[in-house]
Structure 1
Amino acid sequence: MSQTPHARDRTAPWYSIPAREIVTVEHPCVVKNIDKGIETLSGNGGIPRLLNPPRQDSSINLFLSPEDGMSRPLSSICNPANNILLKITVPKRTGRKRKRGSDEPFTNDLNDVEEASEPASPTTSRSSATVPSRALNARALLRRLQDNVGKYEVEAIGCVERMHNFRGMPDFVYSTISSPFMTKFRENVLPFRYDKLKEFQFDMTKGSTSNVDIIPPPALSRGDAPFNYLYRQNPTVKQSIGPSGEITTTNTQQIVKVLTHLVACDVPSVPTAPRENCPPIHTLDKPLQETIAILQSLFETRPAWTRRGLRNHLTTNEQKYALRLAVPYVGYIFRSGPWRDAIVKFGHDPRLHPSSCVYQTFMFRTLPSSITEQLENDHAGTPAPRNTSTTTSVSTRRKTLPRASATSTGGDQSAATRPSHIFTGQAPLPRDGKMWMICDITDPILARLLKPPAPPPSPSPSSEAPSPSPSPILAACDILSSGWYGNVTLAVAKTIMRAKIQHMLEHGTTPAAAMEEDFLPLLEFPARVGGDEEVGRKCAIGPGAAGGGERRVSSRCMALAAEVRAMVRGAPGRKVFLERGRGGGDGGDGDDGRGGEDGGRGKRVKWEDEVGGVGRENEDEGEGEEEMGESGEEEGEEEEEEGEGEGDDVEMSGL
């Protein structure tokens, strides 16, 4: 193009760019042979597809081994570009050289003279056409431009609008040269010729077990992008010097391992002392020693406690924080059975003493207080208050934080100062735990059921109130579910207690007298029943029930009775006792003395919920579970910390 007078005054020349579309390919290999480099791009139409793509952002394939039809190609990423391709022509080197900065005459370079004097053979001329014999790098090109100022020519070839680059990782390569099937497939199928395709046949031989030809999959790797692992040093791990002087790493936030005895309900014998690897008491911190002394004095008053009951007897926050570390020095914990999560004094086995029935635990699932307050505020349309109480966290994991002994949700002064491990059946409900011991239950109707008074010498015939069984304690202990109580007695107590807890959670008030009257028919159930037929016959109320008469009962009472029957049928290990003939021996007031048909006879079936250690025949299984409990210290401690917060003994999900 012609330059205007104004353009001639500029120092930089002007160039015209022809209307030619150019595509740039960043080849991942070092291309020394242009023909082979183009051959790697021949897949999917090759160069025509590269220059005339169906879409502007269409990718191209690059085969690192174009001769292998089984190789997986690399896909490119098409990016828009705005570059210009320049052709720069510099004078050919004469081969004459002299020392830089000197006035010596130029001398010929023997290497350049020999190369210039060599005759061009057919192969040499072809290779020189494909790639220059002396390819120039950027440094050599810049040096030539500096040596030939004003003697080189620049030409704009065209504009680069698209650029293909390969950033993915190539797939793994599985050699199929020694595979007979792939060799035959490569020769007959890949050429895509009909006459060759007719020669391809499958080997229909059956039963080949040696030298089996394994065909590799089309792709061995699912992704081609490298994963960024972001490796970095753990900020809590520090270097320290060990006892012998070596440099070791130490985790400054490592959780302290609590060496608590966690035993199963069928363990043959209970622990009698702390673990041997527990540090001596005199080497512990002073707050921890004080906490251990307080716990030892509390266990002198009674042999079993709940964790919340022990916490309520501690006065300072340091002692409450140290409670978790002090428990291994004073007692052990049952992780299953009637005394689940109860902290029992060393050497005391509640399964051998009927008087220990009052130390059995009831566990319920309730919503944390923060969630309940949020639900109440959602219904009221008011913002949520600040969480000022020390109740269970919203997370499912319990946190070892000091908890207040009384709730801060209002109520009279006596209720506000009442220990939270005592269940009286009166509002407000303590919100710092979900487990109670029977000896800590002072609700009148529950105490009447679980701890009945001595029967009067001459009962009055005019009394209309039903009286429970004279003694709810059994002659044998059910170590799996009901303990020293009958299965029906325990199910009725849990049902009544859960109904009261639900009422106090939903309404925040003490259950009314009408609700208390709905509990009275449940007290007439026998202490223990056997088979399913006996459960349905003796644990029913209403006009159609046995001994029910024409008395009218409410729908709530009917629902509570149905819940009792479901709880009795679903008790852990109940079918084990029925199959071993123990369901009728201790069972209630059966007419035939067998405790139901299911308990007296039937096929011997090994149920899925059968637990080892019940009876003398499974003594070895019980010992195996004891060893698992002794070795699994870290897992057991996690169960201990979450026990009160996530009990599955009685659910609070509704009827």
Structure 2
Amino acid sequence: MSAPVHPLPRNTLFYSVEYPGYLKDLSSVPIAVKNLGGQAALDAAFKRTASKSEAQTTLELKLRPNNPFAHPISGEVVPTTNLVLKVVKRKRKNRMELDDGIIGEYTAEIVGTTSKTVRFRSMADFQYQPDMNDPVSKLRVAMDNLDVDAIRSYTIPPEKADYMVPATQDTSLDTNIDPALTGVPQPEPNPEQPMRSNLRLFPPPLFSRQGFPQSYQFKANPASIETSVVNEETGEERKRLINKMRWKGYGPAAITFTDRLVPEKPPQSVQDARSQVNDALCKKLLGLFEERPVWTRAALFNHITALEARDVINSKLLLGTVCYVFTDGPWRDTLVKFGYDPRKDPGARFYQRLYFRNANHPIVKPSVASRRQERTVANMDNWAAAIEDGSERDLERRKSHMFDGKTLTKETAAFQMCDIVDPMLKEMIEQDDDLREACDERDGWYSNAHLERIKTVLRHKFFSVLEGIPATDESCRQLLLASEKVPSKNAKDLSNLRTVRLKLGKHNMAKGALRPEDAAAIRLQAQIDKNRAAARANEQG
């Protein structure tokens, strides 16, 4: 038996609204239409086509239409193919027939179809109700009602410090009136009485842009596992969630100067991939760290062959297996042997790293891809040239991390103390009569004055070699004398500069270096003194 066929009425179209509220009877319909913005807003929403933007196919429902601070609920006009039914219920007048369980008779008739429907499926925004007696609230109401007199009479109320008031205090008084003039006694502050905020805050047009809720399904993240973590200082054990799917790096463990302990072994991710490491090369690196516990990358690569250096760079695991790194302090960006703490060994002053930029070569930031490509091509060219040229080119490469005061190896000054072999600088570095009792975050084991003298001479010698005229020890001594005769004002500024605490960051590399203009002034003064001395010698001769 097939279902009966009912024809659809022609040219009978309706628009519908899925109103998210109770409509008790026909008397509630005008209120619902008013909350939707009126009949004009409904007509405008249904007349818009779907080809226009989403903002033009929305309809706002204001559950509190007279409150300007109440955020409306947004509804969307969507195309539908629903049927409009006319349902008629007939009740029997004979009460005796109700015993059969039949309460009434229902008849349904199709009167048309709905081509568009307004649906309110998005979440309601957060609501915040400010004090409507506040002058700003009154101004907002006046602007909505185009009340010119109220707008012109608005004045900015004086700022008061009553940001916290007792929870029972009535703040409905006009805030334009000084409380001292109202005659209302002000309560004394009571620390035991609960307080509430009295900040004159007004809500923004929108609190949340999240229109639809996330589908959490009340399930935990399957990629998170619960682990136990022990605080190194207090020994307290805590539970925390770890994302087991997160990316695991294979680089060396990194610590800051303020960290209390140094790593004793590689990170767990490196230990798990230990089988992928070249054992022969790993043993060679461990042997180098036994000879010298702190290295720069350039110095370490210069003590192995070019092919081995390429394997270390490509492996990503070798350095993380044998050392850790400091991200700041006197040993910044150096590779340190596991378990060795240079902050506790005064002999580690020879491994401190000095760095200053060449002011004539400004810092540029090329793209990551181009920087990687240029670096890779340069490294491959250097290694290939070293292999082809044999021992002579390889010998030059092995000394590129050292500074002798005569040979230019690179345009950026970044040397460890032990790699500076210039006689004058070496003598200053090996002096032990001006050391600190405790390691300093900026100057390491050297005193500030002595480290500044070393930097001054190194900077002068490096830039002199960079210009093609190596500096003499005599010119360096004159430069030191000139730097000691800096006016008191500049000396005070420099002393203040030394007390500024360094911030962690990749650009904080010129630690303790003078500003370029100060360094240029000192070099100029030294050159003037040198010229004067030469002129006197010529006159006497």
Task: Give the TM-score of the pair, scaled to structure 1.
Answer: 0.45
Looking at structure 1, the residues matched to 316 and 198 of structure 2 have their Cα atoms a distance apart, in angstroms, of 69
**Partner letter of residue 459 of structure 2?**
A
**Partner letter of residue 206 of structure 1?**
D
2:123 match: 169
Task: Go from structure 1 to structure 2 and tell me whether the alpha carbon gap of 1:364 and 1:351 turns closer, same or farther (over 3 Å shift).
Answer: farther
1:305 match: 295
- Once the two structures are TM-superposed, the CA of residue 46 in structure 1 deviates from its matched residue by 1.2
In structure 2, list runs of 5 or more residues that go unmatched: 49-55, 155-172, 181-185, 188-195, 230-238, 436-445, 521-541
1:50 match: 42
Q: Deviations over 1:222-276 (max 9, x none)?
A: 235436657697676468999xxx9997737656897777647xx9xxx9xx859
Looking at structure 2, the residues matched to 44 and 372 of structure 1 have their Cα atoms a distance apart, in angstroms, of 53
Task: Go from structure 1 to structure 2 and tell me whether the alpha carbon gap of 1:260 and 1:172 turns closer, same or farther (over 3 Å shift).
Answer: closer
Task: Go from structure 1 to structure 2 and tell me whether the alpha carbon gap of 1:163 and 1:597 turns closer, same or farther (over 3 Å shift).
Answer: same
Looking at structure 1, the residues matched to 262 and 44 of structure 2 have their Cα atoms a distance apart, in angstroms, of 79
**Partner letter of residue 176 of structure 2?**
M
Task: Go from structure 1 to structure 2 and tell me whether the alpha carbon gap of 1:370 and 1:219 turns closer, same or farther (over 3 Å shift).
Answer: closer
- Once the two structures are TM-superposed, the CA of residue 206 in structure 1 deviates from its matched residue by 1.6
Q: Aligned pair 1:71/2:25, yes or no?
A: no
SS at match of 2:118: strand
What's the % identity of the aligned pairs? 14
Task: Go from structure 1 to structure 2 and tell me whether the alpha carbon gap of 1:52 and 1:278 turns closer, same or farther (over 3 Å shift).
Answer: closer
Q: Deviations over 1:462-489 (max 9, x none)?
A: xxxxxxxxx8987746545873854431
**Partner letter of residue 597 of structure 1?**
P
Q: Is the 8 A contact 2:425 2:454 kept in 1?
A: no
Q: 1:407 aligns with which of 359, 383, 400?
A: 383
- Once the two structures are TM-superposed, the CA of residue 191 in structure 1 deviates from its matched residue by 12
2:458 match: 490
SS at match of 2:384: coil
Give the structure with the larger strand fraction.
2
SS at match of 2:16: strand
Task: Go from structure 1 to structure 2 and tell me whether the alpha carbon gap of 1:222 and 1:419 turns closer, same or farther (over 3 Å shift).
Answer: farther
SS at match of 1:170: coil
Task: Go from structure 1 to structure 2 and tell me whether the alpha carbon gap of 1:359 and 1:295 turns closer, same or farther (over 3 Å shift).
Answer: farther
Task: Go from structure 1 to structure 2 and tell me whether the alpha carbon gap of 1:603 and 1:430 turns closer, same or farther (over 3 Å shift).
Answer: closer
Q: Aligned pair 1:588/2:481, yes or no?
A: yes
Looking at structure 2, the residues matched to 212 and 313 of structure 1 have their Cα atoms a distance apart, in angstroms, of 66
Looking at structure 1, the residues matched to 373 and 491 of structure 2 have their Cα atoms a distance apart, in angstroms, of 59
1:573 match: none
Q: 1:610 aligns with which of 499, 517, 529?
A: 499
Looking at structure 2, the residues matched to 306 and 226 of structure 1 have their Cα atoms a distance apart, in angstroms, of 53
Q: Aligned pair 1:226/2:211, yes or no?
A: yes
Ranked by relative contact order (alpha carbons within 8 Å, sequence separation 6 or more), the top structure is 1
- Once the two structures are TM-superposed, the CA of residue 68 in structure 1 deviates from its matched residue by 6.0
- Once the two structures are TM-superposed, the CA of residue 491 in structure 1 deviates from its matched residue by 1.2
2:475 match: 525
SS at match of 1:417: helix
1:108 match: 97
Q: Is the 8 A contact 2:434 2:450 kept in 1?
A: no
SS at match of 2:71: coil
Task: Go from structure 1 to structure 2 and tell me whether the alpha carbon gap of 1:371 and 1:598 turns closer, same or farther (over 3 Å shift).
Answer: same
Looking at structure 2, the residues matched to 349 and 203 of structure 1 have their Cα atoms a distance apart, in angstroms, of 60
Q: Note the 1:14-33 alignment, pairs <5 A.
A: 15-17=9-11, 22-33=14-25
Q: Is the 8 A contact 2:464 2:470 kept in 1?
A: no
- Once the two structures are TM-superposed, the CA of residue 36 in structure 1 deviates from its matched residue by 2.4
Task: Give the TM-score of the pair, scaled to structure 2.
Answer: 0.52
- Once the two structures are TM-superposed, the CA of residue 109 in structure 1 deviates from its matched residue by 1.8
**Partner letter of residue 244 of structure 2?**
N
Give the structure with the larger helix fraction.
2
Task: Go from structure 1 to structure 2 and tell me whether the alpha carbon gap of 1:239 and 1:389 turns closer, same or farther (over 3 Å shift).
Answer: farther
Looking at structure 2, the residues matched to 218 and 13 of structure 1 have their Cα atoms a distance apart, in angstroms, of 53
Looking at structure 1, the residues matched to 385 and 369 of structure 2 have their Cα atoms a distance apart, in angstroms, of 10
Larger Rg: 1 or 2? 1
Q: Please, what is the CA RMSD of the aligned residues?
A: 6.7
Q: Is the 8 A contact 2:15 2:46 kept in 1?
A: no
Task: Go from structure 1 to structure 2 and tell me whether the alpha carbon gap of 1:191 and 1:301 turns closer, same or farther (over 3 Å shift).
Answer: closer
Looking at structure 2, the residues matched to 492 and 222 of structure 1 have their Cα atoms a distance apart, in angstroms, of 59
